[in-house]
Amino acid sequence: MSQHSPGSSLDDRRQALEDAFFEQRNRDLIAASRAEKAAEQEQEALGEVTGIQSTSLLERLIGHGVNADTLVALSLIPLVTVAWADEELEDEERDAILKAASEAGVAEGSGSAKLLTAWLRKKPGPELVATWRDYVGSLIVTLDESEVEELKQEVLQRAHDVAFAAGGFLGIGAINPREKRALEELSSAFEA
């Protein structure tokens, strides 16, 4: 039988307790560091997808569960809606949508790309726009006025470009009245 003095056993236990405490503290610090790094990467990805430069807007969007994939969908639904407003998807509109999707970081073969391809083949039902409007309505109440305006401009500019792509004589000059009405309806979703 080994003999330990009562003080030695207590010292061993104290040391084990300290080691456990600091080990847990280190794990917590590492986890916090990883979370901070992930948040920075998500903010960077969201900024690349949207072109939004405002750090505070990006942070608030992320804080409300918006990520790059969500914002891609948020920005592509108006494009598809405008393109199908006259019940016909023209080649110029399809090209403009695909270009915008590429610029938004939609990778070929990704889930977002497959969904977009389906929307380009067949006009989505009205529930898609209704869901988009509900999402926008829920999101904008969490943002200040300037952030709402910045998000609105970013999302709707690409939709405007799609509408303009097939408008007028030889694709130059005008926006189809139905597409203009669709743009106005989409724009109204950003009003509180």
pLDDT of 71-107, one tens digit each?
A: 777 778 899 999 999 898 988 889 988 888 888 778 8
Pair of tokens at residue 19: 């080691």
Residue 169 has pLDDT above 60, yes or no: no
- Cα 60 to Cα 89: distance, rounded to the nearest angstrom: 35
pLDDT band of 185, cuts 50, 70, 90? very high
Residue 172 has pLDDT above 60, yes or no: no
The answer to whether the pTM exceeds 0.95 is no
Residues 140 and 57: beta-carbon distance below 8 Å: no
The mean of the pLDDT values for the chain is: 80
Q: Beta-carbon neighbour count of residue 58 at 10 Å? A: 21
DSSP letter for each residue of 109-172: TSHHHHHHHHHHHSPPPHHHHHHHHHHHHHHHTTS-HHHHHHHHHHHHHHHHHHHHHT-SBTTB
